Amino acid sequence: MLFAQGHLIGGHTLFIKDKRPHYVYNWLGEDIQKVTSNIEISTGRHAFTAEFSRTGQDPQTKSALGTLTLYVDTEQVGQSKIKTQPGYFSLVGEGLCVGRDSASPVSPDYAPPFTFTGGTIDRVMVDVAGEPFMDYEKEVRR
């Protein structure tokens, strides 16, 4: 587990399983939407990014519609259309977890606590600014 927010009736998570990063958006427990990397990751230091780009809105549910793109370092490794909960709606329940999922799983693909092993999670950043994905380390080096 790298990151989990929510539980079995709604949330999202980014985790590594079978040497591949996976992002799951659980829409209210009704629609488990998964984006899986098309490559296995190598050992060593990596940056994992899940970027959502909104393209529209579901007229019935008011859910944001868009594309979730998964990156390993700066390489795009997966992409899928997903829907997300409206920003003004939130389910009461579990909070944000890093390195494990503390209770109810967001995805049926793992069993909590699904603790991260084999390395160190240096940091987790959640950016809701709406700006597209940038390689900040590359920008700093430049």
- What's residue 94's pLDDT? 73
What's the pLDDT tens digit per position in 36-87? 999 999 999 999 999 999 999 999 988 999 999 999 999 999 999 999 987 6
Half-sphere exposure of 52 (CA within 13 A, CB side): 20
Q: CA-to-CA distance for 123 and 99, rounded, in angstroms?
A: 10
What's the pLDDT tens digit per position in 6-29? 888 889 999 999 999 999 999 988
